[in-house]
Amino acid sequence: MTEQLCSEDAYLRSCDATVVDVRDDGVVLDRTVFYARGGGQPGDTGTLRWDGGLARVTDTVKAGGDVVHQVDGDAPLVGQTVTAEIDWDRRHRLMRTHTALHSLSGVIFREYGAKVTGGNMDDTGSARMDFELDQMSQDMARDVEAKLNEELAKNQPVHVSFLPRVEALADPDLIRTKVNLIPDSVDPIRVIDIEGIDKQADGGTHVKATGEVGTVRVVKTESKGKAFKRMRIQLEG
Ligand SMILES: [Zn+2]
């Protein structure tokens, strides 16, 4: 089991760690600052450095409880001490994007009562979210964009907590976002609470307050079918 430091502190950029396994698909450390791909958020990229060597990490994935760093070139040896460092600018943009998406889902639920059915983001500040909605007009897109930016500008704090499973399953906000679908073995459940905007179980990395997201544009709306509408957003800057 890799200790995942970003789960408690998304602002850690590097850490020292020990190589515990080198497999066909990459390097496993005892602890890491790298985020493993999941929940619509891409895996981190960066470097592993050690005495006399350096490897580029091109992606990070999960394998059971392990975090696997996919590397380009020679890997360090098992037992070696390495410095693991993420590409911070890229990760910070992903944190801003992830917090923007959760805020978007909160605004759309509050204003239109619509639930989220899926979401995804890339490292360019672009993201999409799918909603259980029959209509999504241009007027609605402009209205959502204005309200979303209004909420973000309030610089609401973003809290990370670990709730006992029984408590999470009894929380109305978490029920709305389908906390019951999380496997029984997950306890406690990690919760991201964007104060006053959105609260949901989530494994991703987020900024500490919404002001850090900046301004978001709604760039596209699409109909993918009945009760299936998609909204694309883009971070400015
Ligand atoms: Zn999320």
The DSSP string of 72-124 is ESPPPPTT-EEEEEE-HHHHHHHHHHHHHHHHHHHHHHHHH-PPEEEEEE-TT
Distance 81 CA to ligand 1 centre (A): 32
Q: Do residues 231 and 141 lie in contact, with contact meaning Cβ atoms separated by under 8 Å?
A: yes
Residues 16-41 pLDDT 10s: 999 999 999 999 999 999 999 999 99
pTM above 0.85, yes or no: yes
How many angstroms separate the alpha carbon of residue 90 from the centre of ligand 1?
17
Q: Per-residue pLDDT tens for 105-145?
A: 999 999 999 989 999 999 999 999 999 999 999 999 999 99
Cα of 202 vs centre of ligand 1, distance in Å, is 5
CA atoms of 135 and 152, how far apart (whole Å): 25
Give the Å distance between the CA of 114 and the centre of ligand 1: 17
Rounded to the nearest angstrom, the distance between the alpha carbon of 53 and the centre of ligand 1 is: 35
According to the model, what pLDDT value does residue 136 have?
A: 92
The identity of residue 185, as a single letter, is: S
Using the mean position of ligand 1's atoms as its centre, give its distance from the Cα of residue 24 in Å: 29
Q: Can you name the residues that pair with 54 across neighbouring β-strands?
A: 49
Task: Please determine, for residue 178, whether its predicted confidence score (pLDDT) is greater than 90.
Answer: no
**Per-residue pLDDT for 237 more than 90?**
no
d(CA 52, ligand 1 centre) in Å: 38
Per-residue pLDDT averaged across 202-229, rounded?
96
Q: How is the beta sheet containing 198-201 ordered, strand by strand?
A: 158-163, 189-194, 198-201
CA of 168 relative to ligand 1 center, distance in Å: 16
Mapped onto helix, strand or coil, the DSSP state of residue 137 is coil
Residues within 5 Å of ion ligand 1, judged at the Cβ atom: 39, 202, 204
**How far is the C-alpha of 43 from the C-alpha of 29, rounded, in Å?**
15
Q: Say what the pLDDT of residue 181 is.
A: 87
What is the predicted pLDDT for the residue at 96? 98
pLDDT digits (tens, 9 = 90+) for 53-71: 999 999 999 999 999 999 9
For the cut 90, the answer to whether the pLDDT of residue 228 exceeds it is: yes
Helices (H) and strands (E) counted in the chain, each on its own, are 4, 15
**Are 51 and 96 contacting, i.e. CB atoms less than 8 angstroms apart?**
no
Quick one: pLDDT band at residue 212, thresholds 50, 70, 90? Answer: very high
Phi and psi angles of residue 150, each rounded to the nearest 5 degrees, phi first: -65, -45
Q: Which residues of 62-75 are buried (b: 16+ CB within 10 A; e: fewer)?
A: beeebbbbbbeeeb
CB 59 within 8 A of CB 32: no
How far, in Å, from the CA of 22 to the mean position of ligand 1? Answer: 30
